[in-house]
Structure 1
Amino acid sequence: MNNVVLIGRLVRDPELRFVPGSGMAVANFTMAIDKGLTREKKQEFESQGKPTADFIRIVVWGKQAENCSQYLAKGKLVAIQGSIQTSSYKSNTGETRYTTEVLANRVEFLEWGEKTQSSSAKNDDFSFGAGSFEDFQSIEDDDDVPF
């Protein structure tokens, strides 16, 4: 069985291209996946210059590729489901190079917002639903809560 589920942030904007002849859309992007280290381990890794995330190359085909190109941007949180694919090619020097990437079957946008927003936008800059958080009213303390 070859099934991968990843949640992470885009390292850069997706690259969209179209296959000559068929015109099929294909998008490539890289996700940074946090290694889930404890705070102490993370500090240790950072002090040693070791990465605290894995960087995984993702390939998406068809209409999903066009949607990714249109709506995803650097820093956005995304979930993908797909399969690992490996391949090899010859470099200009004649060396055989090996690649590993995830072929995404499903892409879920976990953060929404206009692609034109600054990539340094914070999560609380996004509005969810029709209103904003300022529209909510605080609830008074109620000691009679039945649970």
Structure 2
Amino acid sequence: MATIKNSVRLIGNVGMDPDVRTFDNNRKMVRLSIATNESYKNDKGEKISDTQWHNIVLWGAQATLAETYLKKGDSVIIEGKLASRNYNDKDGVKRYVTEVVVNEFMKMGNKE
């Protein structure tokens, strides 16, 4: 049970092409977003869709794979952990961010 204290699994669609950054030590990082969708029926029987956007971060070998194989619109399964951080923007306003740091991902086949 110790390994599931901070565990996230998502199935969704990539919302943007990977944003790749390489640091001085040749360590690579990729940022992207994933959309997950849920549908339900309201009181009137109407189908309602709810889309949630998730900030995703990949490092090292996972980042290299994401850079090579993922693009906007791809369906993916990701497994990782939540990480929260804060920073001061250019106007000095403190901003808070929650991201999913990926341990593993798998690109799903296209419907075509």
Give the TM-score of the pair, scaled to structure 1: 0.67
Kindly provide the amino acid, as one letter, of the partner of residue 93 in structure 1. D
Aligned equivalents of 1:37 and 1:23: distance in 2? 45
Where does residue 31 of structure 2 map in the other structure?
Answer: 28
The alpha carbon displacement at 1:57 in A equals 0.7
Counterpart CA distance in 2 for 1:29 and 1:23 is: 20
Q: With CA pairs under 8 Å and 6+ residues apart, which has the higher RCO, 1 or 2? A: 2
Q: Percent identity?
A: 30
Give the drift of 1:67: 1.0
Q: CA deviation at 1:92?
A: 1.4
* Displacement after TM superposition at 1:41 (Å): 3.9
User: Deviation at 1:59?
Assistant: 0.2
After superposition, the C-alpha distances for 1:89-129 in whole angstroms (9 at most, x for unaligned) are 011111100001100001111126xxxxxxxxxx21xxxxx
Deviation at 1:35, TM superposition (A): 2.4
Partner of 1:97: 95
Q: Which runs of 5 or more structure 1 residues have no equivalent in the other structure?
A: 46-51, 113-122, 125-147
Aligned residues: 105
CA contact (8 A) 2:15 2:72 kept: yes
Compare CA radii of gyration and give the structure with the larger one: 1
**Correspondences of 1:1-147 after superposition (within 5 Å):** 1-19=5-23, 21-38=24-41, 40-42=46-48, 52-111=50-109, 123-124=111-112
Q: Structure 2 length as normaliser, TM-score?
A: 0.86
- The letter for the 1-side match of 2:34 is M
- Give, as a single letter, the amino acid of the residue that structure 2 aligns with 1:89: Y
User: Is the strand fraction higher in 1 or 2?
Assistant: 2
Moved over 4 A (4+): none
Offset at residue 60 of structure 1 (A): 0.4
